[in-house]
Amino acid sequence: MRQLSSSLDRHETDLVLCYYMNPTSRIQIARIQNIENWYFERVIFPGERLLFKAPLEAQLEISTSETVSAVLSDKILCQQLQVKKTLRPVEAEF
């Protein structure tokens, strides 16, 4: 599902791949609201991992669900969630 508005299409190459994992035993809601004309919201179940692309300056807001409501529990810059490519040495199989 594409989450970009047409006004951001020209910046699509400026997006970074980000990773977040829900380390709690509760359902969380992840949102990005600090980017104009951008909509991103996902429900993340306990232990679930989320890969997503976002502008470097985006801020992921994490709300943790309580019995009847959700409480904002964290705000994380996507720059800190950026997936970095690492090269691992390949072991030869004999």
Instruction: Give whole-number Cα distances, 76 to 2, 4, 38, 80, in Å.
Output: 22, 20, 17, 7
Q: What pLDDT tens digit does each residue of the chain (94 aa) get?
A: 444 444 455 455 689 999 999 999 999 999 999 999 888 999 999 999 999 999 999 999 999 877 656 677 788 888 888 887 765 655 555 4
Cα separation, 21 vs 52, in Å, equals: 11
Task: Give the list of residues 6+ apart from residue 47 with CB closer than 8 angstroms, or none.
Answer: 21, 22, 23
Domain boundaries, the chain: 6-47+64-81
Predicted local confidence at residue 34, as pLDDT? 93
Instruction: Give whole-number Cα distances, 41 to 1, 21, 59, in Å.
Output: 12, 15, 12
End-to-end Cα spacing for the chain: 43
Predicted local confidence at residue 74, as pLDDT? 80
What Rg, from alpha-carbon coordinates, does the chain have? 16
| Phi/psi of residue 66, nearest 5 degrees | -110, -170
Predicted local confidence at residue 94, as pLDDT? 40
